[in-house]
Amino acid sequence: MDKKDAPADPGVRTRLAHGGHDPRSFHGFVNPPVVHASTVLFPDYATMKSRDQQYVYGTRGTPTTDALAHMIDEMEGSAGTILVPSGLAAISVPLLGFLSAGDHCLVVDALYNPTRRFCDNVLARMGIEIEYFDPAVGDGFANLLRENTKVVFLEAPGSNTFEMIDIPAIAAASHQTGAVVMIDNTWATPLFFRPLDHGVDISIHALTKYPSGHSDLVMGSASANEACWERLEDAHFTIGTCAQGDDCYAVLRGMRTLALRLAEHERNALKIAAWLKVQKQVAQVLHPALPDDPGYALWKRDFSGSSGLFSFVLKDAGEAQAAAFLDALQVFGLGYSWGGYESLAVLVNLEDRVVAKGPAGGALIRLQIGLEDTTDLIIDLERALKASGAG
């Protein structure tokens, strides 16, 4: 696309197709070069001393990492993005960068278990007080804030149980006391929710999931607003967790088709969720985009779509019935992670929860709905439900 003819306000699909890299910056090739780099040479001592050139060392960016970071900034509306080797690193670096001994950190209790492990095993050992709060806290959230509350860490919808929270209200209350608000936005991606537009300061993603889309790499990003970008960037440089060029290239390639893939994940997941709701072996379906879900109103207000991940309760089932269900699956794989092209299923363990205990009534099964034919997925689930003996 000739830049002089580009639309003033391009749509999401146009930005995904053309963002991040200007072909004219590299001989007209539409994709950026994959730069493998540690050492960068300077033309003279004065330049080396001043570092007055675009690239100075491999850990501080290359044309490949910049292409992906700029693409994500376009989608997030952020001042800057760091790229790190995993989704957990994308969570860890901002927390380390904005918390110190003696600080108080509020964390939603419905969150990714490795985040909790990092908070409990690393941050707590550093003298940071971690307090988990119920996603259903509502107006009571403001009462949890203290003078030394420096970070509020959110995930929405909640990991595995998919509770919604009032993100703008939490962000506004947090800013009244000077706390920085971070969110793990992996489920929605910036296509379906832009956290910085709703008062969040730092938006975090496991690029392993939908942006990559092919279950073949691990990577993460954290994108900050203007007020927080300098500190986030400094933490990234100081800790030294940098992403590699080949992975950045693969994620950037995945981003080009993200809108198309997400639309299919959403459509397939809603069809499967609706089918599960009427099965006698299913006690409850946890999906915020279903009209009867407790979080539907918040999801409808703030989000523009839903992804392929949700859970359901296998009625009156214990571990043995859940195992029989999982073992009977043939199209669904049994595996962690999600966001790839393939459908997956896992038995959810909520024993790590502190205040948000999750649904009762049976075993909790999380499904990642992939890009297969939904007819085949329903046949697979129907076989597994019968094999479980549940209900």
- 363: tokens are 């075993």
Q: What element of type H or E holds 380?
A: helix 374-388
Q: Decide if 64 contacts 25 (C-beta within 8 A).
A: no
Residue 132: predicted pLDDT: 98
Say which CATH architecture domain 259-388 belongs to: Alpha-Beta Complex (3.90)
9-256 and 259-388 in the same fold: no
The domain defined by 9-256 carries CATH number 3.40.640.10: yes
User: What is the predicted pLDDT for the residue at 2?
Assistant: 46
> Which tokens is 375 given?
């007819």
The arrangement of strands across the sheet holding 362-368 comes to 282-286, 309-315, 362-368, 344-347, 333-334
- The tokens describing 229, both together, are 């970008």
Write down the pLDDT at residue 8. Answer: 64
Cα separation, 181 vs 111, whole angstroms: 15
Write the pLDDT tens digit of every residue in 61-118: 999 999 999 999 999 999 999 999 999 999 999 999 999 999 999 999 999 999 999 9
8 Å CB contact between 345 and 333:
yes
Residues of the chain with pLDDT under 70: 1-8, 27
Do 39 and 74 meet the contact criterion of CB atoms below 8 Å apart? no
Residue ranges of the domains in the chain?
9-256, 259-388
Helix (H) or strand (E) holding 88: helix 87-98
The pLDDT value recorded for residue 1 is 45
pLDDT digits (tens, 9 = 90+) for 108-149: 999 999 999 999 999 999 999 999 999 999 999 999 999 999
Query: Are β-strands 149-155 and 180-184 bridged in parallel, bridged antiparallel, or unpaired?
Result: parallel
pLDDT of residue 378: 98
